[in-house]
Structure 1
Amino acid sequence: MSEREHTHVLLTDDDRQWAELLAEDIADAASECEVTLATSAEDALEKLSQSEFDCVVADYRMPGADGLELLDQIRDTDSRLPFLLVTSQGTEDVAARAIEAGVDDYVIKQFGSQQATQFVSKIRTAVDQYRLQQALEESEQRYRTVTEESHDAVVVLDGLRLAFCNDRATELLERDRDELRGEDVVEAAVHREDRARLREQLNRWEDGETKPRLEEARIVRPDGTVRNCECSGRPITVDGQQRLLVSLRDVTERNRRERELQWERELNRTVQQVLVDSETREELERQIVQQLREHGYPLAWICEQADGELLPRVVRGDRRYVDTVEKAIQDGGRTSEPASRAAATGEAQFCQDIEEVPACEWRETAQTYSYRSCAAVPLAYNDVLYGVLAVYHDHSGRFDDTEQRLLGELGDTVALAIHTLETQSALSSDRVFEAKLQIRGSYYLVDLARSGGFRDCEGITVQGTVPLEDDSVVQYLSLQIGEADVVRDRLESHAAVEDVVVVDGGSPARLQVTVTEPVPEAMLAKRGRVVQSTDVEGTCATITVEVPAREEVRVLVDHLETTFGAVSVSAIRERTDERRVDRRPVVETGLLTDKQRAALKAAYFNGYFEQPRRASATEVAESLGVSHSTFLRHLRTAQQKTFGVQFD
């Protein structure tokens, strides 16, 4: 083994006795190491300005500037000088953060002579990598090679043994750098059937073969997984000795991705065009299933749920299967038709071989029309199920990982497009339907009304609902008669109520209620529907909501019943939206983000805009669970967008 080059180490620790003992042990264990002591970060910086050092070892906890602050100051003048951080037991999280900040490695402080062995190993590793990198950069050819191959795994070989490898190489090989150093890399990491061929090519590269050549080889990881790689190599000189630099590029996914990318490009191109051209949901759905039909699926259809059944909206291909199969929504496992099961579970369903499905009605129907595999993807956006997209094929095994991923992404895209089209349609129409939905089920306000919680009030009105990031919501309630403090205490008695604040104790009184369970107003808003008000009287909550079409009411009822139980319709009336007839500016739903809308609503209902203000920015921010600066940023952006609609 060749003699190691002299290494000057700066050891920084305010515990001078421990540092002196460690310095002696390091010198005994590594004759090439010369250790200079510093007792503080300030002392270390002074010594660095006076002498050249190959590595800095610093304790994390020191009076004045700590180890990380010392690192910051060193990096101002030397961005790559090896730096090891010493931490105490229990502060490994600090060490992990330090690695992200630029520390080369860390050592947990212990006491005893064996500690020096660990320090020497880590010092040598850091210094060796630093010196080898410097050597590589000194050569223009080597610098160009490293730059060109920077996105690949890079190893430097001495013969066939590893002298250096970058982080990408350790990730590819899934082996520790210290474990590999000095090992025969071909023997340790290359598939046995590829070793002889790769060794021959390594020899040709080492002999200076100038003709560009890529060699494929399989890398076997410790867990037995195999990665296909392309390798290229060229000789370099390090410290006057010839070495071989080899770059490895993981191409395992390349063949799979080629087909995936081809279909993805075709699908994205056609879908994006469909999204641009479609002005209604019906038109969008027709073109989507047509594209899937042209892609090779004998049958494609989109359905929605209504009254516990699947209602086909558009079908392309032989629709006899769709007309014949049982369409009741149920989750009976594999014996449920996949579209039905997708609607029931909200999860994508893939059947690779229909013949392997247990005997059931839908399997027999599918086999009658020669279908061998199928898939059903829920069209869901913002927790709202708009329907199911289903496709069928006459070959088994049709849905590999790529097909499943792309169909899932298509389902998400179509659901978002449906949401956008329906929202735009509702906002642009000057005719709307106003529906009154009565909830008598498990809604916290109904629970309290049923138990007499609002007996002293003529009624409770929900003036606004603001979703929070943790899935809870803030609701603003108004009561004409009744003591606000009494109602607050009764609200706080409900398990779903986390907090109640009396915003205004006058008449009418206003309360801010934080609720941890779903509320119907938030669910309707997620569907892009405008909730005008909620009135709680007797043992019933009546929600007045705007819908673009009469048939939409049944869909909303079904949607609410899944969470709140009994929901009924007390009235539906068609009316003219005077704002749109008069062409008054309307702030559309999609103009503001959820956070901007929440900030604007919370400010309004808390009286932030009133003079004098009934709530400060800090108080409104606290009600939303965000910082003062975050609230103001979202509020100002929302105001600018809102005013822009009015005045631009």
Structure 2
Amino acid sequence: MCAAETDTGMTVTPSAYRRLRRATETFRAELVVRLAGEVGLRPAEIARLRPGDVGTYDRDGTDHHFLAVPDEDDGIDRRAYLPPDVEHDLRQFVRANDIEDEERLVPVSPRRVQMLVAETGERAADRTGDERFRSVSSRTLRQFFARRLLAEEGVDPHVVATVGGWGSIERLERFLPDLDRGDVAAAFERTSLVEGADGTDVGDGTAVGTRFDAAFERIRAAADALSTASTRDGIEHRACEHLVDGDPYVVAWIGQQRGDSISVTTAAGAGGAELDGISPDDGAVGEALAADDVRTTEDVRSDSAFAAWRDHADAGGYRAAAVVPVGNGESVDTVLGVGTAAPVTDRERALLSYLGRRLGQAITVVEQRRLLLADTVVELTFESGDPDSFFAGLSGEHDCTVTLDGVVPGEAGALVYFVTLSGAGAEQVLSWATDRAAVDDARLVRDYGDESLLELIVSGSEVATALVEHGATVGEMEATSGTERVVGQVSAETDVRRLVTAVTDAFPDTDLLTKRERDRPAETPTAFRASLRDSLTEKQSSVLQAAFHAGYFEWPRGSTAEELADAIGITSPTLHNHLRRAQQKLLTAFFTDDQRPGDPESPWAED
């Protein structure tokens, strides 16, 4: 089989990639495919590339080639690595076409670059009979670039994130292979950290390798337990209890920023002293919140950044400690603290960072679910003329109106927006959008003549995205001629002042127009929707909403299953699975009184 599908859409294997290259009809098309699949460039970056952007670096007598990847402002975004044979083909193309150093290598729009890749996929499907090639896109090729380096070549994820422009290792997690204890043990056997490898032990006589294995077990158990809790308190309690249920952690606690202090909401483990006097503005906790990174110490007693922990450490019987930011995206107001007898290793620190992100994601899900079921919510209306907010910038650039139809989560923290465009041509806007750093992909769903429905996958700067990252649900958004109006809802317990400050700091030309509490009427349709939403899993709800807004249920269809799956970041079979389960729950809730959504008697009950 030359191609397969995984959770990120169609996965191109090396053999499939070779077939794709052979399907190109011009030297330019093959170069575009190679720049996406072997250098990791986005369509907008390929369209801006110039021969003069290529540079050479000598390391121990060997020449390595790099690309100074230009950004939309003609600055340098990053330096991508250029494999020798790609550099050779690029140089040959420049010579054959007599391209000057400051001329664009591929003088077409980013949209045309996307079309070149899609056309190559169509030819590959026609030649091989493998219909999956028709779903190949520039995003597919960037995924191939990342997965090949990470899973097959074993390149350090930090290096891949840097040269590929992902910004952080976390955004590459979906490309990393799953590891079991055998994989971890084999990896550590090749290091000097395993007991007996170099004759050194940690201070309490426990080998570093043995300690890591214990930490791996505790952190995995804590992460696995998150899905079984339905409240924030339950999530925090389960995480802390699982962390201290065996070596190496003796104390675990979770604290949330409330005003000028950190309030410890959950704690587990030895010690009766309360942890107090912690400020979000200084010390290790403040550093972790500000940098969104783990902070550790080998000795709480001698480290001034952990001064507030000393009495707690004496009572709890630990010496070393770590403080971990708990967040999902840019919203970080919670930390996880752990106390342990021996220093936290670098690899253990990476695992704790992973647990912090999992905790943040789980908390966001239950908080948004609670918001959906709350009787009272706080409605916030923002108005922004900040051109750095994507939709405000789009409407100002094209003097048009963009209205939100729906928004669902995408992959790697992106949001998939379905918007109605009026007052501008769809192709013109799509070409402009794909040249923006904030946009991962864009396509036309429906053309209604004077209006059009667009799908925009936005991972960068946008007011509505900022609200979602801080726990809000966005119900309305309209941008007209450079001014964007967004209406979001948060729970009554939300720190609204902190949310508003975060949004206006990120987008200075933004004002909070209104803040009002609203009672949700206990009408039958509302209760029905709330009950149904509560029975759907997060992914089922997202897939059902995306399919509705993308015109999947219309005739003729506005989107194929493959297009929808690629936008959300799942496979086509997985999409159909979620849709069937969600539709069954919807129909069960509508047609029967005695069999409610989630009833175990349902043929689509969850495993």
| TM value normalised by structure 1 | 0.47
Which one has the largest radius of gyration?
A: 1
What is the TM-score when the length of structure 2 is the normalising length?
A: 0.50
Question: Greater relative contact order (Cα 8 A, min sep 6): structure 1 or 2?
Answer: 2
